[in-house]
A and B are shown apart, each in its own frame.
Chain A
Amino acid sequence: MSTSEVFVLDLRDGADQPPPSPSGGVVVLDRADTLVEHAEVYLGLLSEEMVTAVVCVAVGEPARDDGPGGVALTAPSVLRNAAVLWVGDERGVDWAPGDAAPRPPERPGAALEDLVAALRVPELFDRVVELAEGRSVSPGVRLVSCAVDPAEEAAARAAAVRSLCADDQPVGEDFGAALVEAHVPSTRDGAVLAGRVHAVQLDVVRRLNHVTELARALGTPAALFGTRRPTEEIGKHVLWAGQAVENYRQVVVELLDRVDGHVQIGRPPVEDVLAMGVSPPVEAAGDQVAADLRRAVDAQLDAGAALPALAHELRLLSARTGPQGCTAALEAARLRGPLSLEMPEFPRWPLSLWTLPLVLSCCAVVAYLLGPGWAGWVGGALLAACWSGAGWLVLARRPRAEGEAGAVAAAPVALATFGAVAAVGVVGGALGALAQPSPFTSGWQVQAGVWSAALLSAAVVVLGWRSAVHQWRARLRLAAMHDAVVELTGLAEDAVAGQWRPLRRRRAIAAAADEVAAGLEEVATALRGAQEHFCAVPRGTTVDGHDRMMRPVPAELYAVVRGDVVEVCRCALEPAWPAATSALRTAPGVYEQRLNRLIDEYTGDIRRHGLFAAARADRDEAARDALMARVWAETPAAAQALRVGAGGEMTQLCRSGQLRYLSTSAEPGLLRFAPARLRRVVRDGGAHQGFAADLAVTWGAGGELIGALRLLPLRVESVRHDAGGGE
């Protein structure tokens, strides 16, 4: 059974107590002279079903009564089948089997600590158990740490916190654009007005169209000769159309006022707005909004956005996407009125007075050509009558606001103008023919002259009326009224489509953005507050036993640390998302508490497992791989440590005088190991690709040690198993 977790129990000087319910692999650190005393503890651990194996690391000299007869270690019988690693001396000696001259260690330091750290890696623990189970062995180590310099790590953390809390890092201006586009469409879907507004709109359009038709009919003969003449009723229809337009404006103002009031202050209630004939607001998908917003925020954080800047963008998003009301539209609609359609005055003389000389001439010519005699008088009188009748007719049909001018009122005017002038023309022509007869004697010449005068007169009458109608139509502001209706409809539809229909979605987005912004602000403030202890260098932490020279923080390290800090902030922000989904607010201080707890967890995690194996490394594998590649490249000793064989020189954890306890005949066990991340790195390139395929290397999921572990069995006579204790 493979071990998933390794627990270290330090029994030296009573440092630790056995856990109540141990599980996984257990490394027991004990003093060599107290193994038998702790037999009960070992028995308890070995009999625990959840414990996969026990590795005992016995440290120190044997008990005085054991030596000097050749017994190095007295172990309780309960450990007979367990793996016992005897560390006669924590400093050890640099020694290779077969080499008779051990040397003081080149790098005296924490060889025992490194050994225990290596045993914490489950894969390595299992291999040690496999090789040393039922034996007592002396470990020799050659280890190189790929851990990051704590000072550099602290500097990177400080830089990451500064970057995340900076006030002057802008965020892309299109932040949230996709979110808004997805939830607040810019189309006019659902903006179609119905109910009261629509009814009024239809009425006004119908009335304006009717006026248009009447105005068009004015230019037709029906306007002069019909029984239901447009000239009779166009005045009142123009007035009614104007009133209808104003009525529509007032209804639109009422609609906008209600929409704006509800959006701004929640009054009037929704039902009152719906009563105006608009569709109800579409429902908001709070979970979808929160999910989309989360994606946008995560993308910004990954892109390097600072928390305050991101919070500001969210505030802007909230303010810009939240319900805006339609105050401007309402104001525009109010300023548009009052609207009215004026009835323009129809030309006072539909047949212009400039036609009077023509009337005179035509009548005179006809009377002259047909004269002298009764034919001239009769012909001229007929034409004069036609002219008078035409003048009277167009004057009588002249449309006004209250109806036609009327036949009775028009008769004296027509007779006084057209009739009188025509009569003068007839008399003049007839008298002229008496004084000097016409030179045109042939019949066709006379007929041509008469007909020309008659046709000319008719044409002038027709064109004169139509011209008057055209002039009048040009002054009728029907197009302006249509424009006003279109504009008012546009204002209403824009307000409905842009503000009313997506009201709940706008509110959902604004509430979610506000919540997340508040969370980010709180997290940023808490992060600034925690900077001092979060970014402090742990006391007494050195790498490989000596301080490295200070240098700028490597980019790979900064990327890893920043990613971790971002991840911590992201986790601290976690309560924002359910709150955003339900548009509820998180209590003040929640984010701060979470952040402080997460920072403690993270620093503890780093302290226990190292930066490479920290639990929050799931999002930034690539960054950690890059950092590992850099460390590997900067640490040539690591490759050498991985190449060492069982007979190579290692730091054997005993004194030179204790080497005699070690068996010279038994085959030593050799473990070469490295973090699995290194395998990925060397497999992808470089001069050490062979390591990746080396089956003899144990690749541990965690740990930051690279190197080799030699397990040299003790002579059989050097180990005594005490029958007491746990037996």
Chain B
Amino acid sequence: MGAVREPERCRDVFGVLREVVVEDVGEFVTPGSVLEQRLVHVDGALFVRKYVSRAAGARDPRRYDLLDREVRAGTRLGQVFKRLYPRELARLAAYNLDVEEPFALLHAYHGEPAIGPASRFAEDERRRFEQELFRALVLTAAAGVVHGAVGMEAVRWQEGRLQLVDFEHALRVGDPRWDASSPDGAGRTGARADPRDDVWDAARLLRRVSLGPHADGPVLDRARDPERLRVLLDPVFDNPVELRPRAAEVLAALRGDPSLPPTTDPEAGLGPGRALFDQVSAAKGGPPSPPPARPPRRGRRGLRLFSLLAVAVLTATAPFGKGARR
């Protein structure tokens, strides 16, 4: 029986509508994904198709949100890094969320889930893993994306190369947290998503890789951590998110490659359009006017001084007034 080939309409990361022929290859599973996945061929290349089937969506509507997050993160990363897309991050190719069974097409992942080889890392591989992990976080932070579920299940490994995948819990930096999306609330102390949320998760993962799965219990007992981990990770674990070191700082301590590929600000191109919108809005009466600005503090202070002066003058002149009446 030949593989099923179906034409699909979808949009690339820039929103351009395309039609592709998708040929199903087989089942695909990653430990960090809740969504259903298939391996597919598109134009001879291998892709991962993440989707929400009708039945799964009816059973668990939360999956639509997960796919939405994957697509939002993927488009953002794709727009920021464009052609020189870093291999450390899963790459979204296309998506369609407006169909009955919404899906996202991602370029085939590298390697295998790190959970297998990580238990047999030699020292140099472990160091490499650490650097690659924090480099991936430097890249997501540069794109303004918070992965939200960095862990052993979300990383893949192949010959010294790491890839961060499964952005199903991802948020844009500054988005309000969606607690239900967080697999682990620890380390997330702010109200809004911060790239340093991922640093905390990565620090946990780093401990696990160094000390084994036993070290990654629900409560972190760091009393017997080796000196190297304490120096490196104490600032991460001991500080709230605002004071926590950034991924780039940890990467520097790990002596990793700090260079970034060229990035583009996707918002920059929207400037003229937004200006035009404001102009048109103003011509039509404008959008609802913002509340009046608070009066400057200087004016308020002047009013207070004037009132004080007036009271003083009145008090001083009161006896003369009385004397005059006498």
Q: Which residue numbers of A lie inside 8 Å of B, CB to CB?
A: 167, 173, 260-261, 264-267, 308-309, 311-312, 315-316, 319-320, 322-325, 327-328, 331, 507, 510-511, 514, 517-518, 521, 585, 588
Contact = CB atoms under 8 A, between A and B. Distances in A.
Contacts of A323: 123, 228
22 contacts: A167-B214, A261-B255, A265-B255, A312-B214, A312-B215, A315-B214, A315-B215, A316-B224, A316-B226, A319-B210, A319-B229, A320-B224, A320-B226, A324-B228, A325-B228, A328-B227, A507-B123, A510-B123, A517-B212, A585-B120, A585-B122, A588-B116
A2 to B, nearest CB: 50
B282 interface: no
A311, A315, A517: residue with the most chain B Cβ atoms closer than 10 Å:
A315
Contacts of A331: 231
B10 to A, nearest CB: 39
Contacts of A319: 210-211, 225-226, 228-229
Contact of B124 (A266, A308, A315, A327): A266
A312 B122 contact: no
B119 A521 contact: yes
B303 interface: no
A312 B212 contact: yes
Nearest to A311: B212
B228 A327 contact: yes
Contact of A264 (B211, B214, B255): B255
A316 B228 contact: no
B127 A265 contact: yes
Contact of B232 (A266, A320, A327, A510): A327
A315 B231 contact: no
Contacts of B260: none
Given A315-B214, A327-B231, A511 B224 contact: no
A201 to B, nearest CB: 25
Contact of B227 (A311, A324, A507): A324
A514 B226 contact: no
Contacts of B127: 264-265
A173 B121 CA distance: 24
Contacts of A510: 123
B120 A316 contact: no
B56 interface: no
Interface of B is mostly: helix
Contacts of B229: 319
Interface residues of B, number: 25
B122 A514 contact: yes
Contacts of B211: 312, 315-316, 319
Given A261-B255, A264-B254, A322-B226, A588 B120 contact: yes
Interface string B198-228: 0000000000001110110000000011111
Q: Which of A266, A322, A325 has the most CB of B within 10 A?
A: A325
Nearest to B130: A264
A173 B123 contact: no
Contacts of A264: 127, 254-255
Interface in B117-138: 119-124, 127, 131
Most buried by B among A261, A327, A510, A511: A327
A160 B38 CA distance: 43
B253 interface: yes
A507 B124 CA distance: 10
Contacts of A518: 119-120
Contacts of A325: 228
Q: Which 7 A-B pairs have the closest CB atoms?
A: A315-B212, A312-B214, A324-B228, A320-B226, A319-B226, A328-B231, A324-B227
Contacts of A324: 226-228
A323 B126 CA distance: 12
A297 B214 CA distance: 18
Contacts of B119: 518, 521
Contacts of A511: 122-123
A436 to B, nearest CB: 67
A150 B107 CA distance: 57
- Most chain B CB inside 10 Å of its own CB: which residue of A173, A316, A322: A316
A514 B120 CA distance: 7
Contacts of B225: 319
A652 to B, nearest CB: 63
Contacts of B228: 319, 322-325, 327
Nearest to A587: B120
Interface in B61-108: none
B212 A322 contact: no
Among A167, A320, A517, the one with the most B-chain Cβ atoms within 10 Å of its Cβ is A320
Nearest to A328: B231
Contacts of A167: 214
A566 B121 CA distance: 26
Contacts of A261: 255
- Find the residue from B214, B229, B253 having the highest chain A CB count within 10 A: B214
A266 B131 CA distance: 13
Residue among A261, A309, A514 with the highest chain B CB neighbour number at 10 A: A514
A298 to B, nearest CB: 21
Nearest to B214: A312
A173 B224 contact: yes
Contacts of B226: 316, 319-320, 322, 324
Given A312-B211, A316-B226, 17 more contacts: A167-B214, A265-B127, A265-B131, A265-B255, A267-B255, A308-B214, A311-B214, A316-B211, A319-B229, A320-B224, A323-B228, A325-B228, A327-B228, A327-B231, A331-B231, A511-B123, A514-B120
A333 to B, nearest CB: 14
Interface in B245-264: 253-255
B162 to A, nearest CB: 15
A344 B58 CA distance: 81
Contacts of A320: 224, 226-227
Contacts of A585: 120, 122
A537 to B, nearest CB: 33
A483 to B, nearest CB: 23
Contacts of B210: 315, 319
Interface in B160-204: none
Among B124, B127, B131, B227, the most chain A Cβ lie within 10 Å of the Cβ of B227
Contacts of B227: 320, 324, 328
A322 B209 CA distance: 14
Contacts of B131: 265
A308 B227 CA distance: 23
B253 to A, nearest CB: 6
A174 to B, nearest CB: 12
A553 B111 CA distance: 48
Nearest to A327: B231
A592 B127 CA distance: 27
A330 B131 CA distance: 19
Contacts of A316: 211-212, 215, 224, 226
Nearest to B227: A324
A419 B122 CA distance: 83
Nearest to A317: B226
A372 B121 CA distance: 104
